[in-house]
């Protein structure tokens, strides 16, 4: 049971990292991912 929990946690972390890379590069490039909607994310990055 605990091994399955660790696998789920690892999967969630990987998904968050992938999404962070995708959207992070999108925000930095100024693409059409809603930069005007989230100015705080651009400043944080």
pLDDT given for residue 26 in this prediction: 56
The span from the CA of 3 to the CA of 9, in Å, is 10
pLDDT given for residue 15 in this prediction: 92
- Check: CB of residue 27 under 8 Å from CB of residue 35: yes
The span from the CA of 25 to the CA of 21, in Å, is 6
pLDDT given for residue 27 in this prediction: 54
Q: Nearest Cα to 45, choosing from 22, 27, 19?
A: 27
pLDDT given for residue 22 in this prediction: 75
CA 29 to chain centre: 15
Per-residue pLDDT of the chain (45 residues; tens, 9 = 90+): 678 999 999 999 999 988 888 777 655 555 555 555 555 555 554
């Amino acid at each position: 049971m605990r091994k399955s929990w660790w696998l789920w946690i690892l999967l969630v972390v990987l998904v968050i990292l992938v999404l962070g890379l995708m959207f992070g590069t999108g925000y930095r490039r100024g693409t059409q991912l809603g930069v005007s909607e989230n100015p705080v994310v651009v400043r944080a990055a």
